A and B are shown apart, each in its own frame.
Chain A
Amino acid sequence: MATEVIMPKVDMVMETGTFVEWLKNEGEHVNKGDPLFTIMTDKAAIEVEAPGEGVLAGLKAKLDDVIPVTEVIAYLLGPGEALPVETVFQPQAVVTTSTPPTTEAVTVSEPAATVVEVVGLDKVRATPVARRMAEDLGFDLAQVQGRGPGGRIHRADILAYQEEQRSTAPVAELEVQTAASVPLMSVSVPLPNARQKKVVPLAGPRKIIAERMAASAFTAPHITLSLHVDMTEAIRLREQVLEPLKVQTGQRVSYTAILARAVATVLPRHPYMNASLADGDIILWEDIHLGIAMSVEENLMVPVIREAQSRSLGQIVTALADLTERARNRRLTSAEMTGSTFTISNLGMFGIESFTAIINPPESAILAVGKMMDTPVKCADGYMFRPMIQLTASADHRIVDGVGVARFLDDLKATLENPYLLI
């Protein structure tokens, strides 16, 4: 079967790539790993290597073509292989040949003008566990060589492919060429001499989190400020709207929803807290796309409530319930998990009193929310217990200064302590 050359998916959110140029000519023999073509993503120009060995044929991409990821843009033909053609299933062929239809592409004597993937008969053979692993790791099964019967891909083949991917160039190349990427391990230190329980490959979502967080931590100078907020009035507000909103939305109002509403109200007054640094400019966003950090199967996910500034508390409750539900079922699209302009991370439910978060790039700030605790507060006749939470904002000092963060936090505190301002 001819090796497919596809538009690669080089980052999690990439849906299309812009083709730049072929680095080899049609008919030229290429080896696996040879630089084959160049594409442009929204981050950088990337050289893509040949996925296999063969004669380059059936080129379908040219300069400035915008091509969906995984679409076939050429083939690499081995000895005796021809370009696949669109297969209209032909019963006669099955009757006259003694062999059943195989995964071999139907061959024709001359290269056909219409090069379309063979449909139906050309499915990759893989065991269920191999398919699941490929999906988890973001591998294209078509690129994996199966060593089981009939070329079936087994678990062992995925592991071998993963090992191969780790040791070959494309990954390293991406790290160097994409501006946002920072090497994950810049210093080589010896590993401890200890027994290993398990080695978990840094791949898939974990790898993306690792790259982004490292990039944020090592490029954005973080400043971190925190204060305490008295939640007495916010609790009262929640109690009063709990029933009516339950009737209206079918959901219970969470403190995360109230915080989201408060942040969305306050942020427009602090534009540098809702901003991005890009190509030497600071972009102040009109819209507040509020990212809500959550953990799904050990991975960080940040689904986004879009245009939160124009949503009522009820609408935020509904949006949050929907996103949470679908995040748990892994039904979120990548579009719903990207493009936030500010993020809230609430670890109060785990008993965390306060913490500092790393900014979710390309945002300028993130709010870390701690647990609500009855805390003694001085009053006229001694001390009284008030339900307090600690809010901690981390901000990119390139974009905003300490005073700017302080004003935002103070404003947020005032709003939460007098939540009727939310109306």
Chain B
Amino acid sequence: MNTNHTREITYLEAVREAMIQEMRLNKEVFLIGEDVGTYGGAFGVSKGMLEEFGPERIRDTPISEAAIAGAATGAALMGMRPVMEVMFMDFLTISTNQLVNQAAKMRFMFGGKCSIPMVIRAPSGSGTGAAAQHSQSLEAWFVNVPGIKVVAPSSPYDAKGLLIAAIRDNNPVLFMEHKLLYRLKGPVPEEPYTIPLQSAEVKREGRDLTIVAYSIMVPRALEAAEKLAAEGIEVEVVDPRSLKPLDKETIIRSVSKTGRVLITHEAPGTGGYGGELAAVIAGSAAFDYLDAPIRRLAGRDVPIPYNRTLEQAAVPQVEDIVAAARELAQEGR
């Protein structure tokens, strides 16, 4: 990171900056979605971009996520590098046929003669009182589709570096932006930079247990780690950053060091991505170093409630992470 040109901006601004810089650099990059133009996007991510790039490159669409995904896939197939935005990740259900049956498959089915360089930007997660149809975290569905990459940054710095890497990638990349992270501030260099899609990061070092967390769960895990440190429990927090492809080595190394691992995500536990992480760890060299069962702390198997108290109770909060990590750290010690 070049600190000379680094300043504090929000996660939302980091996402916007990544798009603007890539669009200035490469005429093939454009943004397509509902209300991304005049309105500036559902969360204001593309605010001001219409003025700079015009309606050809900041394309408002009718209310059809199937059309957005289909148009983006077709454009990518013809050599453009579209960035498509859905207002809420939940609406990817409507785009799924285009993404899963077309975008993910074409490069394989045509024997590598074409590629689909597109990014699907999807605001995910709960915590805004948007209720069950606007609060989901659907990463597990998409990591199960060969041909699609899935990225879930947890900081402004990671958001910018990973989005630029995603735009430059020649495959469909699902880019998850957690709604609660949009206002998170952090240091971000002004100039463009990339973070490789298969690079996990140790966000905090510790000796007693590892928490593997991504997206919104990273700041929560870091806050939990801070509280546990006051009790003498040293937590290591590892953020995979990209769920697929996954940097297994960093995770395995950390778990081998601490011998205990808590995996946490907001999406429901059953069939969730945490199960994949647990299997990767249990099947690796880290097995011989495990000193307690691998533990998962995930969202409850319920639709996200509208009621604020219930909404918070449905997904792991800082106190839940503290309690689970404390119990795991103390087991058999």
Interface residues of A (CB under 8 A from B): 127-130, 132, 146-149, 152-157
A132 and B288 form a contact (CB under 8 A): yes
Q: Which residues of B contact A157 (CB under 8 A)?
A: 332
B290 and A146 form a contact (CB under 8 A): no
Interface residues of B (CB under 8 A from A): 259, 287-293, 331-333
The chain B residue with its CB closest to the CB of A148 is: B332
Contact A152/B287 with A127-B292, A129-B259 known, Cβ cut-off 8 Å? no
The 8 Å CB contact of A152, one of B259, B288, B332, is B332
The 8 Å CB contact of B332, one of A128, A132, A156, is A156
Q: Which residues of B contact A154 (CB under 8 A)?
A: 291-292, 331-333
10 pairs, A vs B, C-beta closer than 8 Å: A127-B259, A128-B290, A128-B291, A129-B289, A129-B290, A130-B291, A132-B289, A153-B332, A154-B332, A156-B332
A128 and B289 form a contact (CB under 8 A): yes
Q: How far is the CA of A146 from the CA of B289 in the complex (A)?
A: 17
A147 and B332 form a contact (CB under 8 A): yes
The chain B residue with its CB closest to the CB of A131 is: B288
11 new A-B pairs (CB below 8 Å) besides A128-B287, A154-B333? A127-B290, A128-B289, A128-B291, A129-B290, A132-B288, A132-B289, A148-B331, A149-B332, A154-B332, A155-B291, A157-B332
List the 7 closest A-B pairs by CB distance, nearest first.
A154-B332, A148-B332, A128-B290, A155-B291, A129-B291, A127-B291, A132-B288
A127 and B287 form a contact (CB under 8 A): no
The chain A residue with its CB closest to the CB of B293 is: A127
Q: How far is the CA of A156 from the CA of B332 in the complex (A)?
A: 7
Smallest distance from the beta carbon of B252 to chain A beta carbons, Å?
A: 14
Q: How far is the CA of A152 from the CA of B332 in the complex (A)?
A: 8
Q: Which residues of A contact B332 (CB under 8 A)?
A: 127, 146-149, 152-157
Q: How far is the CA of A148 from the CA of B333 in the complex (A)?
A: 8
Smallest distance from the beta carbon of B331 to chain A beta carbons, Å?
A: 6
Q: Which residues of B contact A130 (CB under 8 A)?
A: 291
Q: Which residues of B contact A127 (CB under 8 A)?
A: 259, 290-293, 332
Q: Which residues of B contact A156 (CB under 8 A)?
A: 332-333
The 8 Å CB contact of A129, one of B288, B293, B331, B333, is B288
Q: How far is the CA of A129 from the CA of B286 in the complex (A)?
A: 9
The chain B residue with its CB closest to the CB of A130 is: B291
Q: Which residues of B contact A148 (CB under 8 A)?
A: 292, 331-332
Smallest distance from the beta carbon of B160 to chain A beta carbons, Å?
A: 39
Q: Which residues of A contact B333 (CB under 8 A)?
A: 154, 156
Q: How far is the CA of A147 from the CA of B291 in the complex (A)?
A: 12
Q: How far is the CA of A132 from the CA of B290 in the complex (A)?
A: 10
Q: Which residues of A contact B290 (CB under 8 A)?
A: 127-129
Smallest distance from the beta carbon of B333 to chain A beta carbons, Å?
A: 5
Q: Which residues of A contact B292 (CB under 8 A)?
A: 127, 148, 154
Q: Which residues of A contact B293 (CB under 8 A)?
A: 127
The chain A residue with its CB closest to the CB of B282 is: A128
The chain B residue with its CB closest to the CB of A149 is: B331
Q: How far is the CA of A154 from the CA of B293 in the complex (A)?
A: 11
Smallest distance from the beta carbon of A4 to chain B beta carbons, Å?
A: 22
Q: How far is the CA of A162 from the CA of B289 in the complex (A)?
A: 18
Q: Which residues of B contact A155 (CB under 8 A)?
A: 259, 291, 332
Q: How far is the CA of A149 from the CA of B292 in the complex (A)?
A: 10
Smallest distance from the beta carbon of A332 to chain B beta carbons, Å?
A: 20
Smallest distance from the beta carbon of B77 to chain A beta carbons, Å?
A: 48
Smallest distance from the beta carbon of B8 to chain A beta carbons, Å?
A: 41
Q: How far is the CA of A148 from the CA of B332 in the complex (A)?
A: 4
Smallest distance from the beta carbon of A399 to chain B beta carbons, Å?
A: 44
Q: How far is the CA of A36 from the CA of B62 in the complex (A)?
A: 87
Q: How far is the CA of A146 from the CA of B333 in the complex (A)?
A: 10
Q: Which residues of A contact B287 (CB under 8 A)?
A: 128
The chain B residue with its CB closest to the CB of A158 is: B291
Q: Which residues of A contact B291 (CB under 8 A)?
A: 127-130, 154-155
Q: Which residues of A contact B289 (CB under 8 A)?
A: 128-129, 132
Q: How far is the CA of A129 from the CA of B288 in the complex (A)?
A: 5
Q: How far is the CA of A156 from the CA of B292 in the complex (A)?
A: 11
Which residue among B288, B293, B332, B333 has the maximum number of chain A CB atoms within 10 Å of its CB?
Answer: B332
Q: How far is the CA of A127 from the CA of B287 in the complex (A)?
A: 9
The chain B residue with its CB closest to the CB of A147 is: B332
Q: How far is the CA of A132 from the CA of B285 in the complex (A)?
A: 12
Smallest distance from the beta carbon of A36 to chain B beta carbons, Å?
A: 30
Q: How far is the CA of A31 from the CA of B275 in the complex (A)?
A: 47
Smallest distance from the beta carbon of A261 to chain B beta carbons, Å?
A: 39
Q: How far is the CA of A132 from the CA of B259 in the complex (A)?
A: 13
Q: Which residues of A contact B331 (CB under 8 A)?
A: 148-149, 154
Smallest distance from the beta carbon of B144 to chain A beta carbons, Å?
A: 28
Q: How far is the CA of A154 from the CA of B209 in the complex (A)?
A: 14
Smallest distance from the beta carbon of A82 to chain B beta carbons, Å?
A: 29
Smallest distance from the beta carbon of B264 to chain A beta carbons, Å?
A: 21
Q: How far is the CA of A148 from the CA of B331 in the complex (A)?
A: 6
Q: How far is the CA of A17 from the CA of B333 in the complex (A)?
A: 36
Q: How far is the CA of A154 from the CA of B292 in the complex (A)?
A: 7
The chain A residue with its CB closest to the CB of B290 is: A128
Q: How far is the CA of A148 from the CA of B293 in the complex (A)?
A: 11
The chain A residue with its CB closest to the CB of B256 is: A129
The chain A residue with its CB closest to the CB of B287 is: A128
Smallest distance from the beta carbon of A313 to chain B beta carbons, Å?
A: 39
Smallest distance from the beta carbon of A306 to chain B beta carbons, Å?
A: 33
Q: Which residues of A contact B259 (CB under 8 A)?
A: 127, 129, 155
The chain A residue with its CB closest to the CB of B289 is: A129
The chain B residue with its CB closest to the CB of A154 is: B332
Q: Which residues of B contact A149 (CB under 8 A)?
A: 331-332
Q: How far is the CA of A189 from the CA of B289 in the complex (A)?
A: 36
Q: How far is the CA of A156 from the CA of B291 in the complex (A)?
A: 9
The chain A residue with its CB closest to the CB of B286 is: A128
Q: Which residues of B contact A128 (CB under 8 A)?
A: 287-291
Q: How far is the CA of A127 from the CA of B288 in the complex (A)?
A: 9
Q: How far is the CA of A344 from the CA of B218 in the complex (A)?
A: 57
Q: How far is the CA of A146 from the CA of B291 in the complex (A)?
A: 12
Smallest distance from the beta carbon of B282 to chain A beta carbons, Å?
A: 9
